[in-house]
């Protein structure tokens, strides 16, 4: 049974919003060693770590074309059709997000432009483990393809317990991914950052992972760009008397099954709503296969009772959930007041599962409160924007007094000279 907290004081909210992700110095030290090893030994280090951590002896780190084709043939027609539907929706929604160029004459003779330019080389990380997250391949690979990223490499581990899921490989082919490499963990992130004989170096790394992967992304962000420090997954459900207890419970359980560090938070308007949800969780839980992960996740999940709607909104914005589900009366009134969330699911018939797989929105989202300052993956993630300016002689002459006054006030005389030498012929003749 999840813990229920009744009408907590605001000075208790910070503790109630705390995630189950302690900052472990041992992890940082271990990841630092892995990074150094990959940087110095490349593929040799990747092979050694595959044997040590995953129990598999790698011959080729990158999959061959015949292996990719054979894996795609093993995917059922049902799953291929499901991937096609999801890919179409993801593609449609992300095409609509494409950034536009800006071309503006800010004053006569002064033209400013901004153009989006695709990141040349992107690395996509797909975790291993019991859940083959081929949906994440679509969420990262499709926008990368739409943006026009020229080189796309995917890293995912091959282990002694399970080979790379054929669905992951098939989804990669759907997205036009150039290279699939059989390496995982912090070592995969290091390989994409530095480059090895088998794993090309990239300009930006995308994708979720465990604490080792997240720490590697953070440590290497000084060398290579990253999407965000995405940690264990989380959901918050906001519910009132109009919610359906079984729906709320299923949403919380679907998050809890991601892993023992995942967190599910219920914010509701009454003790009866909290009780009904908790009872539904107990009824539904025995049906599910990942009982170990679910039980450990629920042990640090909780229900918060806040009878006032405005307090519920304030608490939700304080928590800044990766996924926020609003199962309340007049849900858009609540949604419009939300300022901190990765992705919001509005109404009783909008489960998080829809966004995770096939509605079209991206499921690679900020966790651990990062939604207060960061966005989830979107089309902007795959571009950098270059600005341009062109001034005519007349435009520069009009702007010169402002430029030179500011430059001299900052005691940067050469900046002023660069303008004056163009606008004062006698100065040019003197030089």
Whether 151 has a binding-site annotation, put simply, is no
Of 322, 352, 363, 424, the active-site residue reads 322
Nearest CA among 188, 164, 178 for reference residue 70: 164
SS3 5: strand
DSSP per-residue letters across 264-312: EEEEES-HHHHHHHHHHHHHHGGG-S-HHHHHHHHHT-EEEE--SHHHH
SS3 377: coil
CA dist 320 → 163, 329, 366, 373, 399 (Å)? 36, 21, 9, 9, 44
Longest CA–CA separation in the chain, Å:
89
Whether 348 has a binding-site annotation, put simply, is no
28 catalytic? Reply is no
Q: State whether the Cα torsion 214-219-223-228 is positive or negative.
A: positive
Whether 415 has a binding-site annotation, put simply, is yes
Contacts of 245 (CB under 8 A, 6+ apart): 273, 276, 277, 279, 280
Whether 300 has a binding-site annotation, put simply, is no
Whether 125 has a binding-site annotation, put simply, is yes
28's tokens: 């940082």
CA dist 240 → 114, 208, 245, 386 (Å)? 46, 32, 10, 47
Nearest CA among 154, 209, 172, 139 for reference residue 363: 139
Contacts of 18 (CB under 8 A, 6+ apart): none
271 catalytic? Reply is no
Q: How far apart are CA 130 and CA 321, in angstroms?
A: 24
Of 234, 257, 323, 352, the active-site residue reads 323
- Would you list which residues are annotated within the binding site for NAD(+)? 125, 187, 210
- Would you list which residues are annotated within the binding site? 125, 187, 210, 233, 255, 258, 323, 356, 410, 415
Catalytic residue ranges = 322-323
- Would you list which residues are annotated within the binding site for substrate? 233, 255, 258, 323, 356, 410, 415
- Would you list which residues are annotated within the binding site for Zn(2+)? 255, 258, 356, 415
């Amino acid at each position: 049974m999840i813990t229920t907290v009744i009408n907590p004081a605001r000075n208790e909210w910070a503790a109630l919003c705390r995630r189950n992700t302690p900052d472990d110095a041992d992890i940082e030290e271990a990841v630092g060693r892995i990074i150094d090893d990959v940087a110095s030994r490349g593929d040799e280090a990747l092979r050694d770590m595959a044997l040590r951590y995953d129990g598999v002896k790698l011959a080729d780190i990158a999959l061959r074309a015949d292996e990719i084709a054979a894996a795609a043939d093993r995917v059922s027609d049902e799953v291929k059709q499901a991937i096609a539907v999801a890919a179409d929706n993801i593609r449609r929604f992300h095409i609509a997000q494409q950034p536009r160029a800006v071309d503006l004459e800010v004053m006569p003779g002064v033209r400013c432009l901004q153009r989006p330019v695709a990141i040349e080389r992107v690395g996509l990380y797909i975790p291993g483990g019991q859940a083959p997250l081929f949906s994440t391949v679509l969420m990262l690979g499709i926008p990368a393809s739409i943006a026009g990223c020229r080189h796309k490499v995917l890293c995912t581990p091959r282990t002694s317990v399970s080979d790379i899921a054929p669905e992951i490989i098939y989804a990669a082919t759907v997205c036009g991914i150039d290279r699939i490499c059989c390496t995982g963990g912090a070592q995969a992130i290091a390989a994409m950052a530095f480059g090895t004989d088998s794993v090309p170096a990239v300009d930006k790394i995308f994708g979720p992972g465990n604490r080792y992967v997240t720490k590697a992304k953070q440590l290497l962000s000084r060398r290579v760009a990253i999407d965000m420090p995405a940690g264990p997954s989380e959901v918050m459900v906001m519910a009132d008397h109009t919610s359906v207890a079984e729906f709320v419970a299923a949403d919380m359980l679907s998050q809890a099954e991601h892993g023992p560090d995942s967190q599910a938070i219920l914010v509701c308007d009454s003790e009866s709503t909290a009780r009904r949800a908790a009872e539904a969780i107990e009824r539904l839980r025995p049906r599910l296969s990942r009982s170990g992960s679910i039980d450990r996740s629920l042990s640090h999940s909780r229900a918060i009772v806040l009878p006032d709607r405005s307090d519920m909104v304030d608490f939700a914005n304080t928590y800044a959930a990766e996924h926020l589900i609003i199962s309340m009366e007049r849900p858009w009134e609540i949604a419009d007041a939300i300022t901190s969330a990765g992705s919001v699911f509005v109404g009783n018939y909008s489960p998080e599962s829809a966004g995770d797989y096939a509605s079209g929105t991206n499921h690679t989202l900020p966790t651990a409160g990062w939604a207060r300052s960061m966005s989830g993956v979107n089309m902007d993630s795959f571009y950098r924007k270059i600005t341009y300016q062109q001034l005519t002689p007349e435009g520069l002459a009009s702007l010169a007094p402002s430029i030179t006054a500011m430059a001299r006030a900052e005691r940067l005389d050469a900046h002023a000279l660069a303008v004056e030498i163009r606008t004062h012929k006698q100065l040019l003749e003197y030089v």
